[in-house]
Structure formats: C-alpha cells, structure tokens
Amino acid sequence: MKSKTSFPPQEGAAPPSRCPDNSAFKQQRLPAWKPQLTIASVLSSFFLTGAFCLTVGICLVLSANSVREVQVDYSDKCSDCSKLRENSSNWNKECHCSVNFTLKEDILGDVFMYYGLQNFYQNHRRYVMSRSDAQLLGRNVNIQRSYCAPFSTYGNGTPMAPCGAIANSMFNDTIDLFYNRNSSEIQVPLLKTGNSWWTDKNVKFRNPESYNLSSAFAGTARPPYWQKPAYLLDEEDERNNGYVNDDFIIWMRVSAFATFRNLYRRVRRIRHFAEGLPAGNYTFRISYNFPVTKFKGRKHVILSTVVWSGGSNPFLGIAYLVTGTAATLTGFVITGIHLKLRKKKTYFQKQ
C-alpha cells in the first residue's frame, strides 16, 4: 500500500489567512442606529421620567389610602386557647374564643376577610421545597423519593396525603363573623370558594381520579397536624375538597416575608350586607387550632376592601415616588453642572 505523504509549504508562499470573510456581517459594517446624547435629550429624559413616576406614585398612594381596612389581633384575647395548643397532646380538644370590635362607619363594596401571621418564616429553603407537585396533580407517585421528608410517610409506611412541611403546617383556625343588630346576632354570610387563582384551581392542583373522593385517598393518611383528612376539608361542598380546596391552595403559595396575610373569605352581599358591612358592633368567633406561641408569632383577622390598584399596600406607590424624585433631582444636578461648565467655557473663550 502507498502511504500518504504530506508536503511542506513552499518557501515564500503566504500562510492561510485567518481573517473573517469580507462581508458586511462578519466585518461589522451593517447599518446601525447610534443615539446622539445631547444635553437637551439627556435632561428631557430625566425630567420626563421623573414626572411620569411622580404622577403614577401619587395616584397609587392615594388609591392605597382610600382602602377601608380593619385589623383585629386575637393573639392575646385568645390566650387561654393559645396555652392549650402549646401542648401537642391536646390536638383533639376544641377551644373557642370571641373577639368584639366596632365599625364606626360603613364599609361599602366588596369586603374581603384575611388572616395574618407574624414571625412565621415560610422562606426557608427546605420548607419551600417540602412538597410534591406530582402528588398535588393527582398522580400516583412514590413520595418517598420527593422532598417531603420527614412528612412523607408514617412509621408503618402509610403515605401522607398531602405530604410535606408546607401542607402539614396549614392554617386551620375557623373564623366566623357575627353582626350585633338590635340585641340580636346575625351571622355574616361568607364565601369560601372562588378565592384562589384560576390557574391554581384548574391547572396546578387536581384530585386523584376515582369514582369517589374518599376512595381516591384510600391507603393514605392525613398529615400529623391535620384534624381531618384531605377529602373532608369542606363538608358542606364536595367540590371544595382534596387538593382543590381553596384554603389549601392559598396556603401552598408560600410568602417571601415573615409577616404576611392570606385571603380567607369574602362577604356575600345579600340581605343586610347587600351594600357591604354596615356600621355597628361585630364579633369574631374563632375556633382556635393554629399554635403560634412557640415561634413568638401573632395572629390577626383583617377586613378590607380593594381598589383598582389592589389592597392597602403603599409600597409600589412609594417606590414610584422615590424613583421619580431621584430622577428629577438627577436632572437638576446635571443642569447645574452643565450651566457651570458652560460659564467656564464662555470665560476661557473670551480670554
């Protein structure tokens, strides 16, 4: 066989060029637009940005301040129940307390009820990951391979449904609202469905497929801190049970801060409450189940309205005001520097 031989390059021959091809793209000769930064364009951009942010910020702050809100702290007023819940062996004992408050003015429009927690950190990495999204989609999965541990199975191997630390720590106080009118108590009708996001209710959370919801959860057990299994979360509405329960879905959307509030109920606008909540004396009747003393937390009930910008949260408006003020001040500083340098340039030109 003949072997291939390589010939050395001839002396005097030019080495192969490594330059890009002589094209508009590779030689970067494509047409481009380059802004010409003049003093007029720079100052106008700063002042226009400042005016826009200040206008939006003022509108957002005024809108947030127009929200009617009543906040009631029941941590101390339900201290007896709180002491009872400090001992985990009393989990099956019921404890009720009442908190009275007064509305001096009517709260007109749609009224939303929230529960608020303080000093409850949901942003810990292991806590956030302690869930099984496949299980929450109604799939028959091996949760022992998930991040749910140690809230995945019991000692006898029975899997928890739902599993994970988030589900196990679900807020489970029951709060009812009563209106004291003419020496009689009228229970305020509250809506417990339609409070979660549509995508959560119809996409992210689904019950296991079965002819009966209780049979769908057969072979599983409730989390340790739950008083009821998942298929009995709402005994009045079968469609609000299991993984598609509104309270459960809202709780599974964890908060980034230690102090937060979650939507609990909406006031149903019928009869005495067709226009909202009338002024008068009210009572919260609470079935106290959720312990907070071990982590030095507090619990609130909030009644609030909403406006076009949302609830009573002025943070976004304040952020716009700060940004607009900074942009406006920067514009004035640049204007001062420009005038000072222009005077110096004029002085040296005269010399």
Alpha-carbon distance 155 to 43, whole Å?
Answer: 70
Decide if 285 contacts 96 (C-beta within 8 A): yes
Rounded average pLDDT over 3-28: 69
Alpha-carbon distance 72 to 235, whole Å?
Answer: 28
Neighbours of 20 (CB within 10 A): 10
The residue among 331, 334, 302 whose CA lies nearest residue 115 is: 302
Residue-wise pLDDT tens digits, 59-84: 999 999 889 999 999 999 998 898 88
Out of 16-30, 148-162, 212-226, pick the least confident.
16-30
Decide if 77 contacts 270 (C-beta within 8 A): no
Sheet with strand 96-103: strands edge to edge: 96-103, 280-287, 174-181, 184-187
pLDDT at 313: 83
CA dihedral 230, 235, 241, 246 (to 10 degrees): -110
Angle, vertex CA 281, rays to CA 277 and CA 283, nearest 5: 90
| Token pair in block for residue 46 | 């700063």
Residue-wise pLDDT tens digits, 103-130: 999 999 999 999 999 999 999 999 999 9
Alpha-carbon distance 248 to 257, whole Å?
Answer: 19
Decide if 175 contacts 113 (C-beta within 8 A): yes
Alpha-carbon distance 267 to 276, whole Å?
Answer: 8
Residue 304 has pLDDT above 90, yes or no: yes
The residue among 171, 174, 176, 177 whose CA lies nearest residue 291 is: 171
Residue 347 has pLDDT above 60, yes or no: no
Alpha-carbon distance 63 to 53, whole Å?
Answer: 15
Share of the chain above pLDDT 90, in %: 60
pLDDT at 140: 78
Residue carrying structure tokens 């299980």 = 135
pTM, rounded to two decimals: 0.80
Decide if 168 contacts 226 (C-beta within 8 A): yes
Residue 344 has pLDDT above 70, yes or no: yes
Helix (H) or strand (E) holding 185: strand 184-187
pLDDT band at 6 (very low <50, low <70, confident <90, very high): low
Residue-wise pLDDT tens digits, 39-62: 888 999 999 999 999 999 999 999
pLDDT band at 149 (very low <50, low <70, confident <90, very high): confident
Tell me if residue 260 falls in helix, strand or coil: strand
- Secondary structure in 3-state letters for 218-255: CCCECCCCCCCCHHHCCCCCHHHCHHHCHHHHHHHCCC
pLDDT at 165: 95
> Measuring CA to CA, how many Å separate 308 from each of 63, 68, 304?
8, 13, 14
Residue 5 has pLDDT above 60, yes or no: no
Q: Is 138 left (phi over 0), alpha (psi -120 to 50) or beta?
A: left
Decide if 311 contacts 304 (C-beta within 8 A): yes
